[in-house]
Amino acid sequence: MTEKTIELTDLRRLWDTYSEKRIGVIGLVIMLVFIVMAVFAPYIAPHDPYELYNPMEPPGPDHLLGTNDIGQDILSELIYGARVSLFIAFFVSIVSGLIGTILGLLSGYYEHVGFFIMRIVDAFLAIPRLPLIILIAAFMRPSIWNLVIIFTILGWPITTRIIRSEVLSLRTRNYVEAARMLGAPDSYIMIKHILPNVFPLLVVRLVVEASHVILAESSLSFLGLGDPTAKSWGMILHYAFMYPTIYISDVWKWWMLPPGLCIVLTILSLMFIGYALEELVNPRLRGMTQV
Amino acid sequence: MINRRFLAVLALVVLVYSASVGVMALSVSAGTATEKVVKFAGDVPGGDWGYPSPFGFYPRGPGYIRMSFIFDTLTWKDRNGTVIPWLADSWEMSEDGRTWTFHLHHGVKWHDGEPFTAKDVQFSFDYITRHRTAFKWFQSLSYIDHVDVVDDYTAVVHLKEPFAPFLVDIAGNVPMIPEHIWKNVSDPGKFVDKRAVIGTGPFKLVKYDKEQGYYEWVANSDYFKGKPIIDRLISLSVNDAAAALLTGAIDESSFWGQRAKVASSFEDKPGFAVRWGPSYWVLKVIFNCERYPTNITAFRKALAYSINRTEIVEQVVHGYGITANTGLIHPDITGWYNPDLPDYEHNVTKAAGILDALGFIDHDGDGVREYSDGEKLEFELLTPSKFAREAELIKSQLAEVGIGVNVKVLDMSTLDDILKEGNFFLVISGHGGIANPNILQQPDWPGGTFKNETYSALYKEQRETMDPAKRRALVFQLQKIVAEELPTYALYHPRMCCIYRPEKLDTWFFTRGGVGIGIPIEMNKLVFLGEAKKGEATEGTATPSSPAPRQPGFEVVCAIAGLLTVTYLKYRVGVRRR
């Protein structure tokens, strides 16, 4: 019982510090809106995004953002699009974060393993990301799962390196040394003493990775390398740009602008959350902004 | 005071604007005085159509067209599709239809100054026949037995069998190449020298950039049909042809299908004109007739019944097209079009019935049927990115009858290769040439999995039948087989228009029946020779007259007026201050 109340007050304190930074709160609110949009898409969306109506209808009571070139409701497409973007973003950042943490812990704790893993990381980091993604996407059948695999493969090395550097410093701390001297097994030290201390760093890393993934997915879809029948924001933009009169009529206002804004807003909100968390994690940074 | 200042600013704006426009107009008119340049862009981005030599061009319509500016044929087609004399002034056919005598035009010169003679005709047919595999374009050269040279200006072509479409499919299609250059070339496919583009044609190639899809030709001032009415012709690749037209980056482009919609925003725009043409073009789904289960005719029929072509025409093409003739030939071509063919009207129950009878049943109730071994009935539908929307609709239409589809987008040349290799189940692809029965040779072109001996025999018989009525009956039969065997299911014929700046060139027209063997593009070389003006408006709607070209004088007047106003206002302000 007592333990739980302590945790609650801890959380409260955490929230208080976080909410000091208004930017973080704004980011969180925007993100929540998108998450609600994605989760409850079938209930929020006024139409099935695959249902066909009159093509190229301007915004009206039936279709708040009009219809696209084959008569699908753009607003519904947009709402369902949040699913694709957020799903890929969170899935990839969590999986690649998990892989990165495990490898980071191991490579930071055991020097020989570390040397080996770091060379692999070097090799991965030397590869320019987007061109490689484009190359792979061009050869593989474009589907959401393929994108997830590609992004995960390319995402873990950075996390590994960041976690490792932190572990390297944590490993020499007194309490870790003390635990080791008392005969604690390596796995126990890693999980009980080191992991909780790299956790804040990891959270920031996850957020940053998520925003990268959203951008990469949109770019790929925009270039026409995604699944052409998937409803993602990048795909909406792709078809909007392909439409013949997009530059010489008003259509872009309700067809091109909204998905663009959605992408910008999600990434912005993730950035905001990232900034706020970074300050939370790094008290020195917090002190500096207050001075 | 405020009012006056506002006026002064306004005057200044007018001054600057008119001065700049004046200067621009002056420079433009100075440019046109020395050289008349016309730039056009294909509707397809990434417009590389290969090196425009007879062996280098990409074997699709736009590739041939780019080559046809440089190389001539013995006959050609005018805007009505009538065969007209070109390198040959006249010709005679023998009684049995096996011998054609051509009397060549005198004084024709190759771009390098050498004279064009009957020996070149003999050499061209001989050389291209020998290198038939390198010459990837449609031809029926196997019919040629040999060519005799009677004198410098008389060539006699001997055929193995009578060949009904000879004047169009061979004489009006096979380019004449100079003997003095090609006689030393053993591997024509690799000959991409500057000398490979020496022809007799109205234009000479000056620049070709493969990566940019850029072609530049200059007029051949010694052309035997008269100098072209423009000096320079440029073909560009642009991302958005409509925007490029507006900004003046190009002077002409064609638009078809859904994209023909842009015509409505150009119709009333001053300085632009729109010309509608018939489009001998078809978009189709090609089935692999060699792979299970698309090799089952009934299965292909079930797919045809599941595809709703009307919906595709309405939703994707927005009515800028018609549902296609399942026998491929365009309905406008009354001479060849067979109107009594099955059209497989959308019918889900019928499709489901066929699939059930074939044993493709959804056992596990997930909405997708299974093969007898339990594997899901799922296919990849390959499409160029341009037709991804058609693919999306077909995917959802096939889902209704329980067939799973994954859409994969590929670029056109990769897709053409896959079709030739036969490594596919379903492909969306399209082509022109459907005004000419020779497209029926391989109805699933660019694929080649449809093999049917009766059909091939009929096709051969048809082109050796000189009697028009009999030949027509045979072509009807061929279409009937295509529509019933369904190696390919024709979806729609798009509408087509070209939008252009009449002040640059106003002679654009669509050739009835298509250029050469049936290329539905408005790029007949006659356009650049000003021939269209002579026989105006036989088809295509009349173009709205363009406004008189802007006179630089107007801008000069504006500039002076603006200057005077400003000086006057300055003076007035000064007076008041004093």
Q: How far apart are CA B108 and CA B393, in angstroms?
A: 53
pLDDT greater than 90 at residue B128: yes
Contact A156, A99 (CB under 8 A): yes
Q: Give the per-residue pLDDT at B297.
A: 95
Beta-carbon separation of B262 and A248 below 8 A: yes
B434 and B318 in a common domain: yes
Question: Residue B495: left (phi > 0), alpha (psi -120 to 50), or beta?
Answer: beta
- DSSP H or E segment with residue B41: strand B37-41
Domain boundary among B175, B200, B225: B200
Would you tell me which residues 298-337 of chain B have a C-beta closer than 8 angstroms to some C-beta of chain A?
A: 311, 314-316, 318
pLDDT greater than 90 at residue B294: yes
Band of the pLDDT at B539, cuts 50, 70, 90?
A: very low
Say if A284 falls within a structural domain. Answer: no
Domain count, chain B: 3
Say if B216 falls within a structural domain. Answer: no
Beta-carbon separation of A52 and B315 below 8 A: yes
**Mutate which of B254, B380, B392 to disrupt the A interface (most A C-beta within 10 Å)?**
B392
pLDDT greater than 80 at residue A49: yes
B562 and B436 in a common domain: no
Q: Which domain holds residue B489?
A: 282-494
Say if A83 falls within a structural domain. Answer: yes
**B392 — contact with chain A (CB < 8 Å)?**
yes
B296 and B183 in a common domain: no
Band of the pLDDT at B171, cuts 50, 70, 90?
A: very high
Q: Give the per-residue pLDDT at A220.
A: 87
Say if A170 falls within a structural domain. Answer: yes
Name every chain A residue with its beta carbon within 8 A of the beta carbon of B243: 247-248
Task: Supply B375's token pair.
Answer: 């594997």
Among B8-12, B101-105, B302-306, the least confident range: B8-12
Q: What are the pLDDT digits (tens) for A247-275? A: 778 888 999 999 999 999 999 999 999 88
Domain with residue B353: its CATH number is 3.10.105.10
B462 and B322 in a common domain: yes
The residue-averaged pLDDT of B233-256 equals 90
Say if A24 falls within a structural domain. Answer: no
Q: Of B242, B318, B409, which has the smallest distance from its Cβ to A248's Cβ? A: B242
Say if B533 falls within a structural domain. Answer: no
The residue-averaged pLDDT of B313-340 equals 94
Q: How far apart are CA B265 and CA B268, in angstroms?
A: 7
Q: Give the per-residue pLDDT at B536.
A: 44
B384 and B291 in a common domain: yes
The residue-averaged pLDDT of B371-375 equals 91
Band of the pLDDT at B281, cuts 50, 70, 90?
A: very high
**A250 — contact with chain B (CB < 8 Å)?**
no
Q: Give the per-residue pLDDT at A131.
A: 83
Pairwise pLDDT comparison (B471 vs B27), residue with the higher score: B471
Say if B181 falls within a structural domain. Answer: yes
Task: Supply B394's token pair.
Answer: 């077909």
**A138 — contact with chain B (CB < 8 Å)?**
no
Q: Of A141, A245, A247, which has the smallest distance from its Cβ to B261's Cβ? A: A245
Q: Give the per-residue pLDDT at B507.
A: 93
Band of the pLDDT at A222, cuts 50, 70, 90?
A: confident
Beta bridge partners of B469: none
Among A40-49, B239-248, B420-429, B444-453, the least confident range: B239-248
| Residue A139: closest C-alpha in chain B | B410
Beta-carbon separation of B392 and A229 below 8 A: yes
Q: Give the per-residue pLDDT at A289.
A: 47
Number of neighbouring beta carbons within 10 Å of residue B288 = 23
Q: Crossing angle of helices A233-242/A74-109, nearest 10°?
A: 130
B298 and B422 in a common domain: yes
Contact B328, B494 (CB under 8 A): no
Say if B218 falls within a structural domain. Answer: no
Task: Supply B385's token pair.
Answer: 């990115």
Q: How far apart are CA B277 and CA B294, in angstroms?
A: 35
Band of the pLDDT at B397, cuts 50, 70, 90?
A: very high
Say if B541 falls within a structural domain. Answer: no
Say if A282 falls within a structural domain. Answer: no
Contact B152, B208 (CB under 8 A): no
Q: How far apart are CA A6 and CA A123, in angstroms?
A: 45
Domain boundary among B200, B231, B248: B200
pLDDT greater than 70 at residue B308: yes
pLDDT greater than 60 at residue B223: yes
Q: Give the per-residue pLDDT at B559.
A: 62
**Mutate which of A73, A242, A246 to disrupt the B interface (most B C-beta within 10 Å)?**
A242
Q: Give the per-residue pLDDT at B434.
A: 93
Say if A81 falls within a structural domain. Answer: yes
Q: Which domain holds residue A173?
A: 49-265
The residue-averaged pLDDT of B123-134 equals 92
Q: Give the per-residue pLDDT at B563.
A: 65
Q: What are the pLDDT digits (tens) for B426-467? A: 999 999 999 999 899 999 989 999 999 999 999 999 999 999
Band of the pLDDT at A2, cuts 50, 70, 90?
A: very low
The residue-averaged pLDDT of A30-42 equals 95
pLDDT greater than 50 at residue B420: yes
Q: Give the per-residue pLDDT at A133.
A: 78
The residue-averaged pLDDT of B554-568 equals 60
Say if A214 falls within a structural domain. Answer: yes
Beta-carbon separation of B409 and A247 below 8 A: no
Among A7-16, B263-272, B386-395, the least confident range: A7-16
Provide φ and ψ at A127, rounded to 5°.
-80, 130
Domain boundary among B427, B461, B494: B494
Among A133-142, B240-249, B306-315, the least confident range: A133-142
pLDDT greater than 90 at residue B342: yes
**A141 — contact with chain B (CB < 8 Å)?**
yes
Q: Give the per-residue pLDDT at A72.
A: 95
Band of the pLDDT at B541, cuts 50, 70, 90?
A: very low
Say if A40 falls within a structural domain. Answer: no
Average pLDDT, chain A: 87
B385 and B330 in a common domain: yes
Give the total residue count for chain A.
Answer: 291
Domain count, chain A: 1
B180 and B292 in a common domain: no
Provide φ and ψ at B322, rounded to 5°.
-130, 150
User: 3-class SS at B386?
Assistant: helix
CA atoms within 13 A on the CB side of B190: 4
Band of the pLDDT at B538, cuts 50, 70, 90?
A: very low
Q: What are the pLDDT digits (tens) for A177-212? A: 999 999 999 999 999 889 988 988 898 899 999 999
3-state secondary structure labels for all residues of chain A = CHHHHHHHHHHHHHHHHHHHCHHHHHHHHHHHHHHHHHHCHHHHCCCCCCCCCCCCCCCCCCCCCCECCCCCEHHHHHHHHHHHHHHHHHHHHHHHHHHHHHHHHHHHHCHHHHHHHHHHHHHHHHCCHHHHHHHHHHHCCCCHHHHHHHHHHHHHHHHHHHHHHHHHHHHCCHHHHHHHHCCCCHHHHHHHHHHHHHHHHHHHHHHHHHHHHHHHHHHHHHCCCCCCCCCCHHHHHHHHHHCCCCCCCCCHHHHCHHHHHHHHHHHHHHHHHHHHHHHHHCHHHHHHHHC
Q: How far apart are CA A198 and CA A168, in angstroms?
A: 11
Q: Give the per-residue pLDDT at B237.
A: 87
Q: Give the per-residue pLDDT at B6.
A: 52
Per cent of chain B over pLDDT 90 is 69
Examine residue B293 and say whether the peptide bond preceding it is cis (omega within 30 degrees of 0).
yes
Q: Which residue from B86, B367, B94, B58 is spatially nearest to B215, judged by alpha carbons? A: B58
B326 and B184 in a common domain: no
Average pLDDT, chain B: 87
Domain with residue A131: its CATH number is 1.10.3720.10
Q: Give the per-residue pLDDT at B1.
A: 40
User: 3-class SS at B514?
Assistant: coil
Q: How far apart are CA B523 and CA B544, in angstroms?
A: 21
**Mutate which of B246, B317, B409 to disrupt the A interface (most A C-beta within 10 Å)?**
B409
Q: Give the per-residue pLDDT at B542.
A: 39
**Mutate which of B43, B238, B240 to disrupt the A interface (most A C-beta within 10 Å)?**
B240
B373 and B297 in a common domain: yes
Band of the pLDDT at A121, cuts 50, 70, 90?
A: very high
Domain with residue B93: its CATH number is 3.40.190.10
Pairwise pLDDT comparison (B312 vs B548), residue with the higher score: B312
Contact A57, A73 (CB under 8 A): no
